[in-house]
Chain A
Amino acid sequence: MSDPTGLIVAAVVLAAATVFGLVRARRDGRLRDGGRGDALRLSADELGAALGERATLVQFSTALCATCPGTRRLLAEVAARTPGVRLVEIDAEARLDLVRRAEVMRTPTVLVLDRAGRVVRHASGPPTTADMESAVELAMAD
C-alpha cells in the first residue's frame, strides 16, 4: 500500500486528540459562575428532593457515565462534612426537562445552589474537592 493518506490522517487525528485531551484535562470540572444576571433557580419540587438548609449540590448523572460514581462519592463527602448542605443526584435521562433548563451537555455536571435554590456555580466534568469546598462556601455566604 503506497497511498499515504491513511497515515497522514492518523497523524492528524493523534495530534488533534492530544490537544483536545490536554485542554479538556485542564478545563474539566472547573467550577464556573452560574450566571448572576438571570440566575437559574430550582425548587425542591423541581428537584424532587428537599433543598439543603444552607446549600445544595445537584449532580446530573447517567448510568453510562464512567466518572459519575467517583464524583458522587466526592460530593457526598463534602456534604457530610458541611452541616446544612445536601446532595441531590438527578438521573439526566429521566429529567430531560432539567437537563435542558440547566444546559447540561455532559455528565457529571454539578450545580451548586444557595439556600434559595439559585445556581451559584456549575461544573461540567468531575470537580476537585478543593474547588467544591470553595464553591460551597461561596453559596453559603449569600
Chain B
Amino acid sequence: MPDRTPAVPVRIDPRGPRFAAGLTTLVLLLVLATGSGVALVAQAVVFALGAILGLRWSPYGWLYRRLVRPRLGPPQELEDERPPRFAQAVGLGFAVVGAAGYLSGATWLGIAASAAALAAAFLNAVFGYCLGCELYLLGVRGRARLNHG
C-alpha cells in the first residue's frame, strides 16, 4: 500500500496526469514501432519518478506545468494525487517487465507488456479512464480472498 497517512492529501491539477498519459501513449507507440528496450527503460524512469516523488515531479508533469498549464489557465477543480500516482506505479511494473523482455531478447514479452501499458495510457489520455484505479479494488478483493481462504 502507498502511504495513506497524510491528513490532507496532495491535490493536483487533473489535466496534468491526462497530458502525461498522452505523452506516455506516444512513447509506448514508439517503443512498439521500433522495439526499442532503451526507450522503454526511459519511460520506466518517468513512471518511477511519478510514482515515488509524485506526478508534479515527473518529467511530463514538469513539462505540463512549464509549457501547457500557462496556456490553459487555472483548473476548475483539483483532484487527489493518489489515484494517478498509483497508476504510475502500475505503469512502472509493466514498463520494467517489458524492458526486461526487449533487452533480453524475449521480444514477445516486451510487446505484450508495452501493449498492456499502451492500453491503459491511451484510455487515460482519451477517455480520462484510470484502468489501474479500477483494477485496484479487484486486487484488494482477490488478496482478501487468498488470505481468508
Give A contacts to B, CB under 8 Å.
Answer: 1, 3, 5-7, 9-10, 13-14, 16-18, 20-21, 24-25, 62-66, 69, 92-93, 96, 99-100, 104-107
From A5, A9, A62, contact of B137 by CB (8 A): A62
CB distance from A25 to the nearest CB of B (A): 6
From B32, B80, B129, contact of A10 by CB (8 A): B32
Name 13 extra pairs, CB < 8 A, besides A3-B107, A66-B14, A105-B137. Answer: A7-B33, A10-B29, A10-B32, A10-B115, A13-B115, A13-B119, A16-B119, A21-B126, A24-B127, A63-B4, A66-B84, A96-B141, A99-B141
C-alpha spacing A107/B135, complex, angstroms? 10
Within 8 A of A (CB), among B20-54: 28-29, 31-35
C-alpha spacing A106/B135, complex, angstroms? 7
Does the CB pair A21–B33 fall under 8 Å? no
Give B contacts to A, CB under 8 Å.
Answer: 2, 4, 9, 14, 28-29, 31-35, 79-80, 82-84, 86, 107, 111, 114-115, 118-119, 122-123, 126-127, 129-130, 133-134, 136-138, 140-141, 144
CB distance from B30 to the nearest CB of A (A): 10
C-alpha spacing A93/B82, complex, angstroms? 15
Query: Which residues of B are found within 8 Å of A104, using beta-carbon distances?
Result: 137
CB distance from A73 to the nearest CB of B (A): 9
A6-B111 contact given A13-B118, A69-B79, CB 8 Å threshold: yes
A17-B83 contact given A105-B138, A106-B134, CB 8 Å threshold: no
C-alpha spacing A13/B129, complex, angstroms? 15
C-alpha spacing A62/B130, complex, angstroms? 13
Query: Which residues of A are found within 8 Å of B9, using beta-carbon distances?
Result: 63
A24-B33 contact given A64-B82, A64-B86, A99-B137, CB 8 Å threshold: no
A-B contact pairs, 7 of them (CB 8 A): A1-B33, A6-B35, A62-B136, A63-B4, A63-B82, A66-B79, A105-B138
Nearest CB in chain B to that of A21: its residue: B127
Does the CB pair A66–B140 fall under 8 Å? no
CB distance from A95 to the nearest CB of B (A): 11
Query: Which residues of A are found within 8 Å of B140, using beta-carbon distances?
Result: 62, 92-93, 96
C-alpha spacing A24/B115, complex, angstroms? 20
C-alpha spacing A10/B83, complex, angstroms? 26
